[in-house]
Amino acid sequence: MSCGIYVLKPGEEDLQRPHNQDEIYYVISGAGRISVTPKGQPEVDRAVVPGDVIFVAAREYHRFHGITEELVLLVVFAPAMTL
């Protein structure tokens, strides 16, 4: 498991690519939106605000966008779950 702080400024483009690990984002501060495309399902797009927790499964396309206030996120990476 690893973690870090990810910061995006208003109007900044999120250049992430899908990762091979599951991720959890915790929104520390700021405001914007996230789009996630789960495998075999339509894209989900929603607002994010402080206190939100977002799970993104390994290899799912995702990006933050529409950032209106500097977005500060705690991101935790962990090996993909196997069921």
Nearest to 66, CA basis, from 26, 4, 9, 7: 9
Q: What is the pLDDT of residues 45-62, one digit of tens each?
A: 999 999 999 999 999 999
Q: Which residue has the tokens 């529409």?
A: 66
Domains of the chain, by residue range, sit at: 2-79
Q: What is the pLDDT of residues 4-32, one digit of tens each?
A: 999 999 999 999 888 899 999 999 999 99
* Terminal CA-CA length for the chain: 18
**DSSP letter at 81?**
P
Q: What's the pLDDT score for residue 83?
A: 60
Average pLDDT, the chain: 93
- DSSP count for the chain of H helices, then E strands: 0, 5
Nearest to 64, CA basis, from 20, 19, 25: 25
Q: What's the pLDDT score for residue 39?
A: 83
The CATH H-level (homologous superfamily) assignment of domain 2-79 is Jelly Rolls (2.60.120.10)
